[in-house]
Amino acid sequence: MTDATMSSITAPPPPTANRRSPLGSVLIHAGLIAASFAMLYPLLWMVSASVRPEDEIFSSTTLWPSSVDFASYVRGWFGLDVSFGRFTWNSVVIAVLTVMGNVIACSLAAYAFARLRFAGRNFWFAMMLGTMMIPYHVTLIPQYVLFLDLGWVNTILPLVVPKFLASDAFFIFLMVQFFRGIPRELDEAAMMDGCGPWRIYWKIMLPLSLPVLATAAIFSFIWTWDDFFGPLIYLNDMNTYTIQLGLRTFVDSSSTSDWGGLFAMSTLSLVPVFFFFLFFQRLLIEGIATTGMKR
Amino acid sequence: MAAVQDSAVAVGAGARGRPAGQGRFAAIWTRHGAGYMFLLPWLVGFFGLTLGPAVASLYLSFTSFDLIRSPEWVGTANYVRIATADPKFAASLKVTFLYVVLSVPFKLAFALLVAILLDRGVKGLTVYRAIFYLPSLLGGSVAIAVLWRQLFAGDGLINSLLAQFGIEGPSWISHPDYSIWTLVVLSVWQFGSPMIIFLAGLRQIPTDMYEAASLDGASKFRQFYKITLPLLTPVIFFNAVVQTIEAFKAFTPAFIISGGTGGPINSTLFYTLYLYQEAFGNFRMGYASALAWILVLIIGLFTAFSFLTSRYWVHYDD
């Protein structure tokens, strides 16, 4: 017998505010299940469309395909001049480097803001918060001109280098909040033992901050994987395309025919995000709930 | 904050312990240098990628610049043209406002409704929460926009479903009166992250307030109206501001669904899409910079307005 049932026997029943009648509870579940189905229906339909025989895709609103056929995946994968293997590889490289850049650069800055004392710290911290308010449209064009002059257009550098310069201030802010919660006695003891700030950062702060570093890494990965605007601007050569640009090209070039292939590639593009979601759901939801992350 | 100062003093204390012979510079360096070393990547990014470009963009907004020839100073001509002689600017502003006004309230209402249903004592909360959050996580991707385009096409899934009820749906995407609704529905579908923030907010409301109210005979509706809603106003305010700013910046769905045109008849020409077209389609970089600054101004004014009016309806504990 659980604690809850035990206490409901011994204690007087709690007032109704906290309880729902059995009928109310059934209604709520029915509503939630219907809503869940409506939420998932488009996604399930797309997955199912990707394994249907071509002629069946639009004729059916049901989710269960009459026969499962992976031909769409093969057609989709090789459907453009450059294969989706290339696009996927480009996306992976950009996403992995972005995660590394964000975690390294943002944690360095966050450590300085949270734990070190230096002239102008509060001023720079205010500036950092200020950059979070500025929409990226303002810096977009001069940044483009800068990267064009450097000869970086059509390389991954414009998408990756800024991350190593802690351009996602939001993650700095997240880490500062977390670092401030780590007991100060730990660094003080380390300092007594002769540790400098670098070793404190490396040996104490980072190992204790794995939850926030993981949250930042996972969101970095998902957002970069899904990013369309950055690659759209900086990558014009099909060999450098990310999976998002590949999909968009697929829509444009196959406006008449291959819906199966398009849905197959769309489904594939969602797989990494879906698995991250599956494995790190708790972390992601706590990240949202405590910090109000967008999206 | 006091704690931060304390250990910082301790870091600084090391400097005073140095041999005097190292001189003033070394002492200053030991005291402040570490902070700046750690901050170095961010500082380079701040000056090189944020502050510098922001200043440059303000300058460019007063020029005519096509990327090939150097920028030519035209004074306020860009802004004058935006204000007086650019129907596409007016159209894109209208579409964007319409999108904000339609999508944000619906999205927040759904998020709040579902959060309240999930709040207390629903079994399987984590499963429902995950299902409702999933679309928010996938939503920014091209795949979802592509899917949406197909769902709402003339012969797409939505119309097939409607046909089963004997309703003949319009071709949502290619009709200027309906195309914006396609995008609104897509945005509302992604109500997951405000929902999670609402759930966190609802958890903060002490249950004994409801117990006291129901002992006094207050109905569920009255409890919601008198307790839940007022105590939730800070969270509602936060969600509203964040979602509105996000809606102003929306780009990918409109780009994919309209094939980059913002059509039909500019009915999905989001402000950011117009800015993109001007900058990277027509290479009017100066004009696009002016458009960018106007967007900043609009978002800034909106945010300031929200904070000013919030004191009349947002209740904080103290």
State what percent of residues in chain A have pLDDT above 90: 58
The verdict on A174 and A280 lying in the same domain is yes
The verdict on A124 and A257 lying in the same domain is yes
Task: Report the pLDDT averaged over residues A216-233.
Answer: 94
The verdict on A194 and A52 lying in the same domain is no
**Which is more confident, A50 or B105?**
B105
B30 Cβ under 8 Å from any chain A Cβ: no
Number of domains within chain A = 2
The verdict on A144 and A41 lying in the same domain is no
Least confident range from A7-21, A163-177, A250-264, B17-31: namely A7-21
Task: Report the pLDDT averaged over residues B286-297.
Answer: 95
Residue B18 lies in a domain: no
Structural domain ending residue among the three candidates A12, A33, A67: A67
> Cβ–Cβ of A116/B41 closer than 8 Å?
no
B213 Cβ under 8 Å from any chain A Cβ: yes
- pLDDT category, B282, cuts 50, 70, 90? very high
CA gap B60, B288 in Å, rounded: 9
Residue A13 lies in a domain: no
- Count of C-beta atoms within a 10 Å radius of residue A1: 6
Answer yes or no: is pLDDT of A192 > 50.
yes
CB pairs under 8 A between A and B: 295
Candidate from A61, A164, A266 with C-beta closest to B157: A61
Mean pLDDT (chain B, rounded) = 87
CATH code of the domain containing B101: 1.10.3720.10
**For residue range B113-151, what is the model confidence (pLDDT) as tens digits?**
999 988 877 788 889 999 999 999 887 789 999 899 888
Range of the structural domain that residue A97 is part of: 81-290
Answer yes or no: is pLDDT of A258 > 70.
yes
Task: Report the pLDDT averaged over residues B196-201.
Answer: 92
CA gap B38, B41 in Å, rounded: 7
- pLDDT category, B166, cuts 50, 70, 90? confident
- pLDDT category, B2, cuts 50, 70, 90? very low
CA gap B244, A284 in Å, rounded: 22
Task: Give how far A74 is from chain B: nearest CA, Å.
Answer: 18
Task: Report the pLDDT averaged over residues B11-23.
Answer: 50
Residue B30 lies in a domain: no
CATH code of the domain containing A257: 1.10.3720.10
State what percent of residues in chain B have pLDDT above 70: 92
The verdict on A61 and A91 lying in the same domain is no
CA gap B122, A163 in Å, rounded: 41
Assess contact for B73 and A163: CB atoms under 8 A: no
Residue A136 lies in a domain: yes
Extract the tokens encoding A107.
Answer: 């944690």
Task: Give how far B29 is from chain A: nearest CA, Å.
Answer: 10
**For residue range B32-71, what is the model confidence (pLDDT) as tens digits?**
888 999 999 999 999 999 999 999 999 999 999 999 899 9
**For residue range A57-82, what is the model confidence (pLDDT) as tens digits?**
766 777 777 778 888 898 889 888 89
Assess contact for A24 and B110: CB atoms under 8 A: no
Candidate from B3, B131, B255 with C-beta closest to A184: B3
Residue A180 lies in a domain: yes
B278, B261, B277, B272: which is closest to B299 by C-alpha?
B272
Question: What end-to-end distance do the CA atoms of chain A give, in Å?
Answer: 41
Proportion of chain B in helix, strand, coil states, percent, rounded to 5? 75, 0, 25
Candidate from B31, B223, B252 with C-beta closest to A229: B252
Best residue of B1, B137, B208 to probe chain A, by most A CBs closer than 10 Å: B137
**For residue range B226-281, what is the model confidence (pLDDT) as tens digits?**
888 899 999 999 999 999 999 999 999 999 988 888 878 889 999 999 999 999 99
B3 Cβ under 8 Å from any chain A Cβ: yes
The verdict on A153 and A51 lying in the same domain is no
Answer yes or no: is pLDDT of A34 > 50.
yes
Question: Could you identify the residue written with the tokens 């057609």?
Answer: A75
Residue B36 lies in a domain: no
The verdict on A49 and A188 lying in the same domain is no
> Cβ–Cβ of A39/B149 closer than 8 Å?
no
Name B64's bridge partners.
B72
B182, B191, B171, B102: which is closest to B146 by C-alpha?
B182
| DSSP letters for A88-123 | HHHHHHHHHHHHHHHHHHHHHHHHHHHH---TTHHH
Residues A97-129 as b or e (16 or more Cβ within 10 Å = b)? bbbebbbbbbbbbbbbbbbbbbeebeebbebbe
Task: Report the pLDDT averaged over residues A243-265.
Answer: 82
Residue A110 lies in a domain: yes
| DSSP letters for B56-83 | HHHHHTTEE--SSSPPEE-TTHHHHHHH
Answer yes or no: is pLDDT of B16 > 50.
no
Within 219-278 of A, beta carbons closer than 8 Å to B belong to: 222-223, 225-229, 232-233, 244, 247-248, 251-252, 259, 262-263, 265-267, 269-270, 273-274, 277
The verdict on A115 and A61 lying in the same domain is no
- pLDDT category, A222, cuts 50, 70, 90? very high
Name A252's bridge partners.
none
Residue A205 lies in a domain: yes
Task: Report the pLDDT averaged over residues A257-283.
Answer: 89
> Cβ–Cβ of A148/B157 closer than 8 Å?
no
Residue A240 lies in a domain: yes
Query: Rounded to the nearest 10 degrees, what angle do helices B229-248 and B87-119 cross at?
Result: 150
Assess contact for A90 and A224: CB atoms under 8 A: no
Residue A155 lies in a domain: yes
Range of the structural domain that residue B117 is part of: 76-311
The verdict on A235 and A150 lying in the same domain is yes
Query: Rounded to the nearest 10 degrees, what angle do helices A84-115 and A259-291 cross at?
Result: 10
- pLDDT category, B318, cuts 50, 70, 90? low
Mean pLDDT (chain A, rounded) = 86
Extract the tokens encoding B72.
Answer: 């030519």
The verdict on A187 and A62 lying in the same domain is no
Least confident range from B95-99, B125-129, B156-160, B274-278: namely B156-160
Contacts of A269 in chain B (CB under 8 A): 141-143
Helix (H) or strand (E) holding B260, with range, is: none
Answer yes or no: is pLDDT of A236 > 90.
yes
ipTM above 0.95, yes or no: no
Number of domains within chain B = 1
Contacts of B42 in chain A (CB under 8 A): 105-106, 108-109, 128, 165-166, 172
The verdict on A286 and A227 lying in the same domain is yes
Residue B1 lies in a domain: no
The verdict on A36 and A141 lying in the same domain is no
Assess contact for B135 and A270: CB atoms under 8 A: no
Answer yes or no: is pLDDT of B8 > 70.
no
